[in-house]
A and B are shown apart, each in its own frame.
Chain A
């Protein structure tokens, strides 16, 4: 009985291999890791950068350079986040004066708009109507955007007011956080969506470099099991 079972298993395996191999051959090849020449000073972030570029979530600025120290712009972040989370258009269109439907950023900005938390970022402000896609983005902007999406997808839950106080209490720059954004930042810290800039220092309005963005997105993708995405046709083309 045991022998026939083994025989059967072998047969099944061979049959299965025969069945699968044409399918496997028909699959596209896993994208070739692109050589990037300017990461020598960024060995820590290099795997994340390669992962993001390979998936087309972030792009090299030309065939071989990533410019890891350049600031991430709002437009780039919107494009990357839309691609990584496969965000569709919002139920209710969001209008920015400087992002008309003809803009290359239109679909990305529309998709991330419900998660930007602009009012939280500037509590008490009357906001401008422009998105300003070329403006450098900050650690707090990226953090709120990612946390908002993860909350909406029930990957994380906002922590309680008491926990918020506990998480933010030790920060020396906590007074830069006012109103509802406190809960989102504390949740992000608790869930490692953002790491502190230094012990007890959030530095929320510091610009975030392209290497830092890659690390942040890579960490979120792995930790929260966001499925990998396929690369676009031309990963080297500028956004």
Chain B
């Protein structure tokens, strides 16, 4: 056993012992984390990603028997999906999965032109040897031959960022779908679609076969019921299956990219979880995709930070780990993510690596610095010679970038394991000020110290941290907020859904027994509304706040509106009926 392996074994035993002693019940969040897809070192597709559609429809085979011409909007919708995909929140999920580009790495950039619809062709050639039925299904080799034929017939060119989709349909005579097999599995035994690659003419052809989702007897409907987002459910369902295969073909085109320990790629982990999105103003039924950053199925990703780190003359060995913490101008941690885990391959000397993580806050909270923490195993040292920090919004637009170079830029060792990369280009033009508030009783009596965190207790009092019993310092009112350090006064408002019935600016709010936010006036019970917020400084700048749990964990995005729910949690809107809720509200900042 090598020293490295022995060391790893010892650390695993120590870790397991500690884990067993300290964390007897491993939380489900941990269990969810280990579901994440892993980079196996292969390539991923880079933009522009060129998508070709081949409709293989011999006489007597149509795409949709429910429409008179057998096509309806099927082909136009599938094309429009590709046209509208670039720059969407949905496509942004792909930007977190880099792949190998020669000795280094690269990752797809979202934004205009990320995907190009490169061509389509309808082929009426018969299936070879009368294949296509369950008794005599098409074979994967037939599909590959059809792609080669389509490339030749249409003078298409295939590069490593091209993907060819082959669609078959339904026999009009029987209503049975065209059946196809790859290896020992078939459309009538296990799959709706698949993606793979083959070599032809010295090129690697990346392709996908997609059966007719509405007519596959194994159920490929993704839970999408009629009439579908675009009024023809067969074509809407087909978009969902195409989205599954396209996203997987981008992140794992050759079966050595991103998937988990048992073969689930980013679409598989959310298989048949249909969802609705709007892209470029048009509606789509798509399938959710796995988002490593949230360890969940999602239809969006970001804002994000892309870190490109060049290792210098001293490598980052396989057993060592590194993580990045993103900090705002106040030094608050916005998010933390792994740069290299213990199971990942080492970062060789003089190579560059890309890691993309969630910013952990909305874009208006600018990134001030990136703190890199190195966990050295057995006296490993690591030189970083360059770091490129880029911030992107949810549609892939680059908001800022910061390039840092040195020789080395940083040297990390077991005794000096942290370095901070400032990102002045990504900081706001005007320094952001924080906002501090007080809690107090009627008549501004019993004023507390200032605080950046307030929770509502079961008696509907506003409480700040402290107090002799750890239950907080609690008063009826919260308010008299000021900016720090400039000391400008901040007022707020109470209002109903959609900003309706706004009351005008005040400097004090209390929560009544119905969890409404109330301001003075309107009698002893005050003037009460569902929400409070819409904060403003005396010189007219907006103030926004977040909600979070104990120790400033689970921080939300910034919001200009907060309501208190039936469990005395503070909630901000997030598009769901309940909102994003946490124990505390605060950490307000001037925009």
B-binding residues in A (CB < 8 A): 97-98, 117-130, 132, 135, 138, 140, 176, 178-181, 204-205
Contacts and interface: CB of A to CB of B under 8 A. Distances in A.
B36 interface: no
17 contacts: A117-B263, A124-B195, A124-B196, A124-B248, A125-B192, A125-B268, A126-B241, A126-B245, A128-B192, A128-B216, A128-B218, A128-B220, A129-B219, A129-B272, A130-B219, A178-B255, A180-B262
Contacts, number: 91
B193 interface: yes
Given A119-B268, A178-B255, A126 B194 contact: yes
B194 A122 contact: yes
Contacts of B191: 122, 125-128
Nearest to A135: B189
Interface string B245-263: 1001000100100010111
A97 B268 contact: no
A165 to B, nearest CB: 15
A132 B271 contact: no
Contacts of A126: 191-194, 220, 241, 244-245, 267-268, 271-272
Contacts of B271: 126-127
**Residue among A117, A120, A125, A130 having the largest count of chain B Cβ atoms under 10 Å:** A125
Given A97-B219, A129-B218, A130-B219, A118 B184 contact: no
B219 A128 contact: yes
Contacts of A124: 194-196, 248, 252, 255, 265
Interface in B149-202: 182-185, 187, 189-196
Given A125-B192, A127-B271, 7 more contacts: A119-B263, A120-B262, A122-B191, A124-B196, A179-B259, A179-B263, A205-B184
A176 to B, nearest CB: 5
B195 A130 contact: no
Contacts of A98: 219
Interface residues of B, number: 35
A179 B264 CA distance: 10
A138 to B, nearest CB: 6
Contacts of B220: 126, 128-129
B192 A119 contact: no
B494 to A, nearest CB: 42
B190 A127 contact: yes
Residue of B183, B220, B248 contacting most chain A CB atoms (<10 Å)? B183
Contacts of B248: 124
Contacts of B263: 117, 119-120, 123, 179-181
Contacts of A180: 259, 261-263
B192 A127 contact: yes
Contacts of A204: 184
A97 to B, nearest CB: 4
Contacts of A132: 189, 218
A19 to B, nearest CB: 43
B219 A122 contact: no
A180 B245 CA distance: 19
Contact of A125 (B194, B219, B221, B252): B194
